[in-house]
Structure formats: C-alpha cells, structure tokens
Structure 1
Amino acid sequence: MQQTLSPQPNLLTHNTSNIQVIRRDGSTTLLNIAKIRSVVEWACEGKEVNPITLEAGLTTRLKNGVTTREIQDNLIDCALGMCSPSEPEWRYVAGRLHIWNLWKDVIVSRGYGYGDYAKTVRLQVEANQYDRQILTYSTEELSLAGTWINQEWDKDYDYAGAVLLTKRYLLPDELPQEAFLTCALLLASVEAPQQRLIVAQQFYEAIARRKISLATPILANLRIPNGSLSSCFITAIDDNLESIFGEITNTARISKNGGGVGVNVSRIRSTGSWVMGKKNASGGVVPWIKLLNDTAIAVNQGGRRAGAVTVGVDIWHLDVPEFLEMQTENGDQRRKAYDVFPQLVITDEFMRRVVAKQEWTLVDPYEVRTKLGIELATLWGEQFETAYRQIESELDQTITLYKKINARELFKEIMRSQVETGMPYLAFKDTINRANPNQHEGYIPGVNLCCESFSNVKPGVESHCCNLVSINLANTEETELPNICQLAVRILDNTIDLTNPPFAASKNHNDKYRTIGVGCMGLADWLAKRRLTYDHLSEISYLFEEFGYWCTHASMELAKERGAYSAFAGSEWSKGKLIGAKPLEWFLENARDQERWVNLSQDIQTHGIRNSHISAIAPNTSSSLVQGCTASVLPAYSKFFYDKWAKGAVPIAPPFLQDFFWFYPENKSLDQRKVVKAVATMQKWIDTGISMELLFNLNQGVYFPNEPERCLKAKDIYETLILAWESGCKAVYYIRTVQKDDFKESNDTCVACAN
C-alpha cells in the first residue's frame, strides 16, 4: 500500500520565490514548485513510496540559475539514495525520472515527442540513421503503426534499465517505443504484404511489453543501414597459413559488427612439431592465439568496446599446458594472450580418466595426421575413443611427439586457473555432438563466446552463425507461453533473411542450417512468484518441456509455410528424433504430456522443420536489466546490491522483491550443486546449450552453518564440475568466486554476444 502523505513538505515553506530556472532550450523562468510536485507525483504513481520524502530531499539543492536538468538529476539522486532492500521501488521512480529527461530532450531537439511516427521515420531515414528498408511501408501504414505506440510502457523501467536502454540502444532523437516499433516493422517486412502489419503489431507488443528481449545486435543494428544482426559465430582453423590468416580476417569482420566469436585451433600443429620437414620448428598454437588476441583489441566494434573472442583447443592437444598458462603474469610475455577467453573442449574419455586418476596423453595433431591419417579434431564419441587408443598404442613407435600426464592433475590445473581467472570455459564435446541433429553433415568443434550456441563448422566453408532472442519469464504467464514462443521463433527466422553475414562461410551456414536460439530470462522471478525454489526440479522440468515443445512446434509450423532447412534430409529430425537428437521413446518416458510429442515427431517427419537448432539460453547479464528481470535462468547474485557504474553506484534488485523477498535465493551463498541439477533438468528440453556460470563462495561457514570454521575446498568444486558433466550439462561458462563477501567478477563478454 502507498504510504499516507504527511503534512506539507519543506519544499513549500522554503524561500523559492525568486529562483530563476534555466530551461532546456536556454530560456529562463521563475521556479514553479507545482511543476516539480507534478513530476514527482507522476514518477511515484502506483509505487510503494512516499513522494513527499522525495520533495523534501530536493529543497537543499535549489539555487538561482539552476537548470531543469539539474533539478531532474537531483530528484534522481534523491530517489536512488532512498532505495534499499525495504524500499526497492525507489529505483523505478529514478527510472521514470530518467525517461522524463529523455522525453524532454527529444522534444527540445526535434520539436515534438510521441505522436507523429511517420514523420520520425522520414527524418531518421534522411539522417541515414534508419535503414531505407523501413520505407517498404507506405506513409499511411507507418501512421497506422504509430497508433500502436503506448507511451505508458516507457514508465516500466527501473533506473539501471532506463539508463542502459537510452545509452546503449537508442539512436539520437529516438524514443524507446519508436525503436521497438521500428524493429518490429523491419522484422515483419519479409512477411507477405497482406500479413506484415498484423505480424508487426504482434512483434511490437511482445517486445515493448518486455515479453521478448531482442539480443543486442538485433536491437542495436537492425534499424541502421547494413547492420549485422547475428550474435554468435564459431570458426575453425586448418593447419595452414591460408586458413589461419583467413579466419583471423573473418574474426575481425565479426568483431567490427559487434558479434562474439569462438575460434577452434585444435587442428594447428603443436610446439616442437615439424614445419617444412624440420622438427622443432613450430611455435604451436599460442603465437596464432596472440594474433587473434590483438585482432580483438584492434577491431573494437566501432569504438564501442573491444572485440570478444573465445579460443578453443581440444584437451588432447600437446599445447594444453601452455594454453592454460597464457594468461598468467609469469613467463615469456611474447607468448601471452590476456584479452581472449580460453575454452577447453573436453571428451568423455578424458573425464572418465579424471575420475579414475588415470594417465592422459597429449599429442601433436600434425604428427597424428601425417603418420596415422587421423584428423583427431573431427572425432568424438566412440570414433574418437577408438582412434585415441590406436594413437596410444603407437607411442614411441610411430608417434614420437607426446606427453603423458595424470588426468586428475591436469584437471586440478584447469580448476586452479578457473578459480584465479574465471576460465577456461569447459565444452563437453561428446555431450554436445550426441545432441547434434546434423551429424550427417559434420561435427561441432566447440562453443561460442557465451557457451550456449553452437552447430556444425567446416574451416573455410561453414562458420556457425546464430541469431538470439530471450523470453522474459518474469512477464510471461503460462497461458501466453505458446504464443510468445511462436512469435520468438518467427522473429528469429525472419532475422535470418534480413541480416548481412560478415563473410561467405557464415552466410553459407545461415542458408544451410537456419540456426536460431530462443532463450529465457527471469526464471528466478518465475519461481519466486510461485513460491518455488531451484529444488523444485519437477516444476522446472515441466516449464521447460512447455518451452521446448512450443518452440519446436513453431519451427515445424514455419516449415509448413516456408519449407524445411536445406540440410533437413538425413538429419536426426528427419528420423523422428526430437530435442537434443533424442529418440521419441525418451519423451514417452520423461514428458508430462506424451501424446503431443508423438504428433510433433510425425509432423516433423512429414513437413520438416524450419530451423536446425532452435533454443539456446544466453547469459543476458545486461539485457536482463533492460527487461527488468533476473538474468538468464540462474539465481540472482544477491537480493539487493549496488553495481558500480561510471557515474556511481546503481541499485540492482529482482522485480518482485517487495512481495516475494523470502523466495529469492542468493546465488552468492547457494550450493552450486543445486544450480547444476536445475540447469541439467532444463538442458533436457533445450536443443543447443545453456550459459551456466558457477559461483563459489570461499568464505567460512557459508555452505556449512553448523561448521562456522569450515570453508569450501577444492574437492567441493571438483565434485560440482564432475556433476555438471555426469548430469548432461553441455558446457561450463565462467567460474566466479566470492571472497571476503566481495563479488569477484570477470570481464562481461556477453555484452558482445547475446546481449
């Protein structure tokens, strides 16, 4: 309930009669207390806050010559200062005041606010800020679309979301609803002419009401001329100079357009290998990784931020020990790469040997290729295990360049690096490829920058390319989920036809596989509203069964309308298998509603499916702030905390904290085995991957309340990582740690990818 108003605030009794205020257009006027009160009451409307306390906080900040912007900024500062775990809604008041600033600035700059969308489009096209594709629509159609705009939806943002939206995504002289409407119209522009306005309105309402979140490349680049819309890319490098420098160039092109890229280097010969017949001539993978590192820095996405590259190497590669050390401070600085994000691509055989404390052999791919005719990087599962046993049987006879190491000790080195730096990421290669619906066309070498999106890659021929959106579970009710899933899949399939892939191999992939990634955010909020926890695996499973079913069903329906993806014939989909290339029998045993899966399998075999990969859950660290929900599917780090931004500390809290405080577990003190089990439960219904961060609190007594002196040990982290592999998780993203109750964060790479 809103608090009862106290007697008239100090603002009325303060001597303000002679204060001159400078307006945004430069003119002056006498201070009008009524106007300030009107704005304050507007900003506080419907929130559990007392507007009088905000007015009272402003009185000491008024002076002659104050600008209207300064008054507004002071009100924002006051609201932020009053925000607390017991009164978290002040952050929404600050957000509304920030949006008010935006409205006024745009009115001063262009002479009007909302109300003439067709004129806005014309002006933005003339200024070369909007792509001329928007003129596919007539002036009459644009005017009609302008009537859909609901200015009230601008009031839904808290301060963090409002600032990120205006600073990162809006163009000059653009308002939020104009941005969302323009995106919706462009996304619908590939629809049939008689349908596109109907579809565009559905897109707009889902985006503007924050039920569907567009990934950063779509929201930021769709409106501008020649913008690239894809979030995630993966390339692989062959063991020759042409391939190496070709993929470095492609990495630069991806970075220029704001995408995140994964580069697999497992085929490149190791340190000490042969070059032009001379042994010990090769410098291994690290010098080439350093070039990728410097490319990411040099091609800085138009000055917005440095590029973001994850470099993957298979766990059997002879250079793995140096790969693990390339971000340490000691050693030869010429062989360091501090700005890439390392990932290790790990086989089941290695993990089995880790558990059994057996030996593991590191080998040179070039020697294995030339002497045994085996391209080890392309193999997984039983084929890999057979080839690997053959290689080990040839040691000291055919294979001379190798190193034996205890698998458990190597895994300890990996863990040590993860605790110190957050990385390397871990990609479980066999788990990923078993779930690959396109095994008939190749294999998946590793994961993307955020560990959730991946598919077949062929060096120089096909580079994984994927577009992403996320469904906001905090704002979406169960009855809405089928329709929202259908809209999300349609948005992404349309995006494939609108985007301009940055190089030929990515276009080939787009055209062949039509890979998309519909994800989720706000699971912690969905659970809190229902008074559930991350232990409620049955409820989580059914939610994601619904999500997986309706996304897959939507892609099947699109195949009826537009045709199946071109590599469908021979795929696991074509054989009647469903999500994760699992046989129908699995769904009959595990699904709550079995009959619909039987029908879906039959429909896909009859009509095909439009997209080879459909669902992928990204980290959404930044975009979740704009969406006003918790990030991705993980618990909130804390119920309430301040994030340090350039202009000071900003309060961050889940959306339903006021009503469901006790149902938000804090990830900073939550047993991560619960997180792993929950993610593994979701993964069964997600056909690509889930960006799973693990957060370990290293302080005493956090996980062991009855043993106040006990803290987390390496054995506990080890067992959690083993559980992730055994439970069917496809990858482990960052390992983060809490030390002395201080959140130790690694770099936020997901801004360049999904967000």
Structure 2
Amino acid sequence: MPATAERHANGLQQLHPPGADHAVATSAPGYQLIRRNGAVTPFDASKITVALTKAFLAVEGQPAAASRRIHDIVAGLTEQIVASLTRRPDIGRTFHIEEVQDQVELALMRGEHHKVARAYVLYREERAKARAAARPVAIPAPMLRMTAADGTLEPLDAGRLATVIGEACAELDGVCAEAILTEARRNLYDGISLDELAQAPILAARTLVETEPNYSKVSARLLLDKLRREALSFVAGRPEQATQAEMAERYGAYLHVYVKTGIANALLDPELGRFDLSRLAAALKPERDLKFDYLGLQTLYDRYFLHVCGTRFELPQAFFMRVAMGLAMREVDREAQAIAFYDLLSSFDFMASTPTLFNAGTLRPQLSSCFLTTVADDLEGIFKAVKDNALLAKYSGGLGNDWTPVRGLGAHIKGTNGESQGIVPFLKVANDTAIAVNQGGKRKGAVCAYLETWHVDIEEFLDLRKNTGDDRRRTHDMNTANWIPDLFMQRVETGGPWTLFSPDEVPDLHDLYGKPFKAAYEAYEEKARRGDIKVFKQVAAVDLWRRMLTMLFETGHPWITFKDACNLRSPQSHAGVVHSSNLCAEITLNTSADEVAVCNLGSVNLAAHVTVEGLDQEKLKRTVTTAMRMLDNVVDINFYTISEARRSNLRHRPVGLGLMGFQDALQTLRLPAASEAAVNFADTSMEAISFHAISASVDLAAERGRYPSFAGSLWSKGILPIDSLEILSQARDGDVELDRSSTLDWESLRQRVQTTGMRNSNTMAIAPTATISNIVGVSQSIEPSYSQLYVKANMSGDFTVVNADLVRDLKARGLWDEVMICDLKYYDGMVSRIDRVPDDLKALYATSFEIEPSWLIRAAARRQKWIDQGQSLNLYMAQPSGRKLDEAYRLAWRLGLKTTYYLRGLSATHVEKSTLKGTDGKLNAVAVGGLTVAAAGPILVETPPFNDPAAPSACAIDDPTCEACQ
C-alpha cells in the first residue's frame, strides 16, 4: 500500500492487531464479542479507547497540545460506538468483531476524521487480504452447541439452519441462500442461545436488501421461523418448532389452541371460543404468511401480535382471523362473514386501522380511530374535555379538540369578576395529558387542537410549537391547526382588515359558516367600531396569513384547514356543525356539547386493484363492499369509553374508507405523479371507490336500516358528494376552480340513495396509513415516494427500503449494479440526478421533493370532489419560500380542498456517505427536522420542521408513536 497509508496503518494496527480482536462496552456489562476464530470473549470498551488514541497519534503526530483534543475526540467516538452496538434490540448481547469494526469506521467518518478513516479502511482491506493469503487448508469447523430454553447445551442443528434459509429463499428471484448461510455462520459461537441462532440469518439477509429487494421477503420468512418457535412453544407448553411447509398441516390445530390460550390469559373475548373453529381453521391460508416484507412482519411482531409477558403466541394468519372474528361477532352467519373478512385482510387487498387491529376480538374492543370534541367555555367543561381525552386515548384513539368556544385572553369572567388567561394555559394541560396517557405501552397519546382564525388568542396559538419564549406557554407535543373561514381568505386576497374577537362576546360565530358567517362577522365588526365589544383587535388579514405561513415553515404547525368547505359540503349539515378535523386532518364530523364525533377507518390497497390495463372495477367493488360491512360492524361492536361518543356514533354511524398504495398504482400504470394522466387517475380511481362505497352503504341500509339521523341530510335530498361542490361554489359566488366531470352511472345511484337511504352518514376519508401500509408493503396513502433507497427508522428499528419496481425496471435495462446502488446513496435515493438513468424512469420515479406541490394539490382536489369527508394531504417543498407557500395554500383553498396536513421540507444536514455495504439495522439518524441520511441512504424520521433542527414534532407520517389515524 502507499507509504503514507502504511504509516497510518502502523498506528491503526494497535486498534485490531493480528490475533487480538478486542472491543468491549464496559458501560454495557454482559455483552460479548465473537472473534474470527469463533471464540467468545467479554467486551472492554476501554480497549477501543486505547486503540483509537494510538491510531490518532499515529496519523496526526504526538504534540503535547493535541493530547487533550485527541482525548476528547476519542472519548466521544468510543461512546458513539458503544451506543450504536448496544442500542439494537434485535442483535442480542453478542457482537461479531466485524460489526465492531464497521461501527468504528462509521464513527470515524461521521466525525469527519477522514485521514484516520481512510487509513483504517485501507488497513482493513490489507488485513483481509493477508488473512486470505495465509489461510491454511480448510479444517472442519468445530462442532458448535446451542443453549436450549432450559439452559442445557445441545448440538447446533446446522442442517435445519440450512433448510430454513433455503425455504426462505424458495421461488424468489435474485437471492442466494448460500450467501445468507455464510454470513449467518460468521455470527455463530459455541453456546449460542436459541434467540441469537434465530436472529443470525435474519441479520445476514437484512444486510443484502439494498442489493436485491427480495431479500426483504427472505428476512421476513426467517423472522417467521423465529415467531413460529416462540408461538408454538408457548401454546404447547414445551419446546416446539416448525418449518413453513410443516405449518401447512399444523395451522388448523394451532388455531384451536391459540384461541383457548388467549381466553385463558384474559386477552381474547370468550365469545371467540364459541365460533366454529374447525370451519375457520379450514379457511386459513398458511401460504399468505409468505406475502410479508420484513418491515411489515417485524412491525406486527413488535406491536400487534398478542403476547404474555413479551412472549408472542399469535401467528399472522391467526392474527387476521382474530380481527375478522372480532368484527363478525354479531353477524347472523358469523363464521361465513369472519371467513370473508379474514380473506380480505390476509390478502392485503384491504387493511383495517391500527386500533381495530390492536383490539378486535379482545376484552376491550375499542376499534375506532378518531374522536373529535368541542371544549366548553367553563372550568368544568374544560377539564371534562381533558379527562375525555385521556379516556379516549387510553385505547388507541386519536383526538381532535375544538377550542374555539373558550374565551380569550382578557375576557371578563363573571363568577370571579376577573379576567381570563385565555386558552393557552389549558392547552398546556391538554398537551401534558396526551403524553402521560401511554396507550398500553404501544404508543403515546396524541391530540390536535383547532382554533378559528377570528379568535383573539390566535396569535399566541400560532406560537405554541416554537422553541423560544416562555415554555409554560408552549405545547411541544400537541399538534395544532388553523380552522379558517372563507371570509378570512377573501380578505387576504383583497388586502382587507381582519378583526379578532373573544368568543364569549360573539358566540354565534362558532356555529356559522358561508354567507351567514360573513353577515354576522361584519355586524360584530361594526359593533366593535362603536365600542359595544370590549375585547377585540384588528390586524391586516395578509399580515396574519403571512405569520401563519411563517410558523408553518418554522415548526410544521399550525396546519391549514378550511371551515367552510368542511361544513358546506357536509352531508350532516342539518344535524350540527363541523367545528374541527381530527388528529390527522381527514375527518370532518359534527361535534357539540353532547356529541363526540367518532370515525372508524380502513384503507383499500389500490395497488392490488390495478394492472397494466387499468383499474379492476369488479375486484374493487368486491373489496369495497366487504370493507364497508366490516367498518359498519365497528359501530355496534365498539367499546366506548365515554357516553357522548357512543351516542354520536350510533346516531350517525360514520365510517371512513380510504386508500393506500396510490404511488404503487401509478408505477404499475407507468404514470409519473407530475402529469395530467396521474391527476386524471386520482379522479377516476376515487370516483370508483366513492361509487362502490356509497352503493355498499345503500345495500347495508336495505339490509339493516338507515342511520337514525338520515332524514334531512344531503343524502336524503339526493345530493351526493359530487353534487355538494355546487353548494360550495354558490357560497363563494362561483369561485371554485374544479373539473366536475364523471364517468359512472351516478343518476341511478342517486335515486337508490334517496329511496333506500344510507347506513352511514359518512363513508370516506383518506388517512395517512403510516403503519398499515408498512404491514401491507405498499406506499403510504396518497403519498409520493420520499426516496427510492433509504433507511426507515421507527419503533421496530431501522430498515433498508428499496423500491422494488425501480430495481425491476433498472434490471430490465441492464442498469442495476453496484455503481447504481452507490449513486442512489450518493444522491439520496433520487434517480433524477443519475445521468445514465433514462428520462422516462426519472419522471416515473421522481420523489416527493422533486414534484411541484401544485400536482399534489390538483390530484387531491380531484379526489376531494368524490369524498364526503377529507384527506390527509402532505405538501413537500425542497426549497420553500414565502411565495411558494402562499401560492400552494391559496391554490388548495381555491380548488375546494377541505384540509391540508404537514408541510415537509428537506433538512439542511449534509448527506453522510460510507463505504459500508451492510448497514441495515446498524445506523442512527444523524439529524431531526428533515430527511436524515446515513450510510445506506436517507433515514426517514418524523420531519415537519424546516429551519429549526431541534423543533419538536408529533404525529408525523412516519412517527411510530402516533398512528391513531391509520
């Protein structure tokens, strides 16, 4: 090697001298190291410190002035290396020497110690070559033993390990069982535990995902083997294991024991034991266990499968059957319906929301996703709302609170003859309550506060998520959203003034919208001018609008939502007022003092209903019909924690059928997201879902009866969602710029709705689907891809994700190779910057930050015309500016959108590159507040803020602690 590198390597040899593989975490006692010869030794982090110090001195020299600096650098690097090794729950308590070396290299590169890192890389390569050259004739490996569950040692079954890996690779293109087996063997040692033995091939397969997406399925199948041993052993009460082929015969018998075990441990409703389990067992499809990608199955394993003291005893097909049984419990032929529900869920054509998956079939079946409340203007009402939040969040509900009725700062309090402190102190209490309620250890509680733009506290409300100012007037964990009337937007457009009021002096504004709101608001402005109103403030509308956008830019909050569009198009305008949306800004239901709105969600996997020929209407109709029945059943089966929620849900029976996999569908159809064709597909696909959802609700009404508050609704008048656009247009004097064309037979459906009625007051809402789309293995909701190669970070760990469609296309053109993988990493998963990628693929695989926001807004607007509720619409801007924000949100308003969700931007953090190949599960995020990147490509974490890296966030689309809307 070059002389300079050789000099550096002489010092680095102290880090890993031949025959002495030392590295230990004294701060993590009990961890062990596997040396290259298979021997296991305890760790000692101090030896990493000593070796690093010598390495730095060898490269940089030994001046006395440098000793303190080197000491501090090395101490920090050692701490990072130990933390990286010990933070991963999946790796166990034993590391291979190569993993330690990988983390040393990564820490050096992250610290930008390039000379030391370069010399270290060269030294490792030279040592590997030397070992290979000096390797003697192969000697049979020593017989290894494994530690059984009872602590005894028994011979390691190498044959079964090879069988399981071979089975996991069967019928998958581009994967190599031998490569996995070789890597797995490297992590074996004498006395290895059963869990570590099961984990070794999983970790080996995961490191190869970036080279071939099918290794994700291999990893999932290997995880299945671990899960089968865990579950079968628990229900049998003795050590058991089975291959996938053996499970084809055993799944039916297992289902019987699984149900009995769940009931005995007070986890399942005893009613499940009274189903015809033999009939259900015969309907199980064990081969569907093979559909999972690793991220999906690991997510289920970590957070959804039933367990006793951490031991999982629920296998995937039993999980889907449990949910199906829970939803079919009150059906007449409940076995037939349970089988139909199971078939839909396990096929991945549709997936129920997270609370439904968590709780269906259990003793506390809280299956609903979203709850909306209005907070009363007195202490009793305020603290009742806080208590209700806690009770609703306890069982995985996501919350939206309407705080507009609460009087503002400086308003008179008659009971004490004092002045109000406004809403902010109470919002602080609600914020702290949300994070205090831990939903069964599965995730934190989450809530969004909504406030109308005319409220006198609006300016303080805008500042709630800032990291500066009085922390007692900040809510770092609560989402916030502006509830904006059309009149405000019109004043912004005309440059007019805007007056802020306290709601105790203008009480009717809360319930008014459209032209009646305008008349009342202008009358109050006149009263204020006359001095008849005590608490008010006048500002320029455009100045307040700019401040809203500034806060959105800086903190990701408050979101922009539109009061009039939500109310004027609401089918239930005769029964109340929509005062807010929910946690994820897609639900638009009435709330009042005696009604807490509830919505029950689930999502169609659009990707499973599209072929290269187009949308499969017949399959979509079957899916939607069954899905709507499942969602309607939730209303009756649901466990309600407060009476106001039960009363509202039984009276109106709203459900929210959504979709996911939209980006995957576009890729199948070869439609770039930034194209008229994609906008048109958003229109026609949502039209089809809308048509079949409404039709299914009519069929349920014929079978089960109309929902109680049907009379007087827009439905009863023959006004469907597409027709309600005209109501909005008239209220705005024709100012709604939207295509209103249709392709299906809406007239006949309109007549059926009027004559037969509807089973559900609301039928559709598009939620974020952050977790359930992971389970299914498709793109989230209506989202474009963040990146084509990235590391996804959530509560289950870090996962390499690569776009399998892109890989397939690049392989077909002979372009998928090591160079392409490196280029994708270097360019943060964006193919547009890689010269040798053809232009048509650059357009098709453009990421979310390469697409102009107007395309996403236009597509959302075309969907919105068919939806009776709303959609969680994120907007993306790589380089946001005030002008771009203003244009985007005004366009959203003009096109009739009801709500928007997060505004997302790219972090200013520099992209970190590494020479490491196998990084899956080994990386930490290096920044928060944007797309965070590391060796295997970008790491995606919660990302609302733009220019404040320390800004807090909650309920981001990839925030694992907040998935109440999925």
Q: TM-score, normalised by structure 1?
A: 0.91
User: Structure 1 residues 615, 35: closer, same or farther in 2, change over 3 A?
Assistant: same
Alignment match, 1:612: 761
Alignment match, 2:523: 390
- Any idea what SS the aligned residue of 2:420 has? coil
In percent, how many aligned pairs have the same letter? Answer: 31
* 2: CA distance, partners of 1:538 / 1:580: 16
- Any idea what SS the aligned residue of 2:529 has? coil
Aligned runs of 1:428-467 on 2, under 5 Å?
A: 428-459=562-593, 461-467=594-600
- Any idea what SS the aligned residue of 1:731 has? coil
Of residues 538, 561, 566, the one that matches 2:680 is 538
- 1:189 Cα deviation from its structure 2 partner: 1.9
Comparing 17-26 with 256-265, greater Cα deviation is found at 17-26
- 1:541 Cα deviation from its structure 2 partner: 1.2
Aligned runs of 1:354-753 on 2, under 5 Å?
A: 354-369=492-507, 375-397=508-530, 398-459=532-593, 461-477=594-610, 478=616, 479-534=618-673, 535=675, 536=677, 537-579=679-721, 582=724, 590-594=740-744, 596-645=745-794, 649-654=798-803, 656-660=805-809, 662=841, 663-698=844-879, 712-740=880-908, 742-743=930-931, 744-745=943-944, 746-748=953-955, 751-753=962-964
- 1:580 Cα deviation from its structure 2 partner: 5.6
Unaligned stretches of 5+ residues in structure 2? 1-134, 241-249, 308-312, 611-615, 730-738, 811-840, 912-929, 932-942, 945-952
Return the letter of the residue paired with 2:251. Y
Superposed CA offset, 1:535-569 (max 9, x none): 22222211111111001100000000011110111
- Any idea what SS the aligned residue of 1:517 has? strand
- Any idea what SS the aligned residue of 1:281 has? strand
- Any idea what SS the aligned residue of 2:386 has? helix
CA contact (8 A) 1:58 1:75 kept: yes
Return the letter of the residue paired with 1:754. C
Return the letter of the residue paired with 1:682. R
- 1:738 Cα deviation from its structure 2 partner: 0.5
* 2: CA distance, partners of 1:676 / 1:727: 8
| 1:168 matches 2:303 | yes
User: Structure 1 residues 198, 628: closer, same or farther in 2, change over 3 A?
Assistant: same
* 2: CA distance, partners of 1:626 / 1:216: 10
- 1:26 Cα deviation from its structure 2 partner: 4.4
Alignment match, 1:102: 227
- Any idea what SS the aligned residue of 1:16 has? coil
- 1:291 Cα deviation from its structure 2 partner: 1.7
- 1:133 Cα deviation from its structure 2 partner: 2.6
- 1:649 Cα deviation from its structure 2 partner: 2.7
* 1: CA distance, partners of 2:519 / 2:460: 27
- 1:721 Cα deviation from its structure 2 partner: 1.2
Alignment match, 2:336: 198
Of residues 178, 186, 198, the one that matches 1:72 is 198
* 2: CA distance, partners of 1:278 / 1:362: 24
Comparing 474-483 with 629-638, greater Cα deviation is found at 474-483
- 1:473 Cα deviation from its structure 2 partner: 1.3
Superposed CA offset, 1:52-82 (max 9, x none): 2222222322221123432332222222212
* 2: CA distance, partners of 1:340 / 1:128: 34
Unaligned stretches of 5+ residues in structure 1? 1-9, 370-374, 699-711
Comparing 225-234 with 360-369, greater Cα deviation is found at 360-369
User: Structure 1 residues 388, 293: closer, same or farther in 2, change over 3 A?
Assistant: same
Alignment match, 2:364: 226
| 1:135 matches 2:287 | no
Return the letter of the residue paired with 1:753. A
- 1:451 Cα deviation from its structure 2 partner: 0.6
Superposed CA offset, 1:650-672 (max 9, x none): 11244534335633331132211
CA contact (8 A) 1:154 1:176 kept: yes
Comparing 625-634 with 284-293, greater Cα deviation is found at 284-293
- Any idea what SS the aligned residue of 1:690 has? coil
Aligned runs of 1:236-247 on 2, under 5 Å?
A: 236-247=374-385
- Any idea what SS the aligned residue of 1:273 has? strand
CA contact (8 A) 1:314 1:346 kept: yes
User: Structure 1 residues 256, 115: closer, same or farther in 2, change over 3 A?
Assistant: same
- Any idea what SS the aligned residue of 1:367 has? coil
Alignment match, 2:146: 21
* 1: CA distance, partners of 2:475 / 2:175: 50
Return the letter of the residue paired with 1:464. A
- Any idea what SS the aligned residue of 1:636 has? coil
- 1:227 Cα deviation from its structure 2 partner: 2.6
| 1:310 matches 2:310 | no
CA contact (8 A) 1:327 1:336 kept: yes
- Any idea what SS the aligned residue of 1:301 has? coil
- 1:578 Cα deviation from its structure 2 partner: 0.9
Return the letter of the residue paired with 1:52. E
Comparing 169-178 with 278-287, greater Cα deviation is found at 278-287
- 1:584 Cα deviation from its structure 2 partner: 9.8
- 1:300 Cα deviation from its structure 2 partner: 2.1
CA contact (8 A) 2:573 2:713 kept: yes
CA contact (8 A) 1:43 1:97 kept: yes
Alignment match, 1:249: 387
- 1:14 Cα deviation from its structure 2 partner: 6.7
Comparing 297-306 with 34-43, greater Cα deviation is found at 297-306
CA contact (8 A) 1:521 1:630 kept: yes
* 1: CA distance, partners of 2:166 / 2:760: 49
- 1:114 Cα deviation from its structure 2 partner: 2.5
CA contact (8 A) 1:17 1:30 kept: no
* 1: CA distance, partners of 2:370 / 2:511: 21
- Any idea what SS the aligned residue of 2:469 has? coil
Alignment match, 1:351: 489
* 1: CA distance, partners of 2:351 / 2:151: 38
Aligned residues: 718
CA contact (8 A) 1:324 1:417 kept: yes
CA contact (8 A) 2:235 2:261 kept: no
CA contact (8 A) 2:491 2:542 kept: yes
Alignment match, 1:6: none
Return the letter of the residue paired with 2:955. D
User: Structure 1 residues 109, 278: closer, same or farther in 2, change over 3 A?
Assistant: closer
Superposed CA offset, 1:488-519 (max 9, x none): 10001011110022111111111110000011
Aligned runs of 1:31-42 on 2, under 5 Å?
A: 31-42=156-167
Alignment match, 1:155: 290
CA contact (8 A) 1:628 1:654 kept: no
Q: Rg bigger for which structure?
A: 2
CA contact (8 A) 1:630 1:654 kept: no
| 1:186 matches 2:329 | no
- Any idea what SS the aligned residue of 2:409 has? coil
- Any idea what SS the aligned residue of 1:736 has? strand
Q: TM-score, normalised by structure 2?
A: 0.72
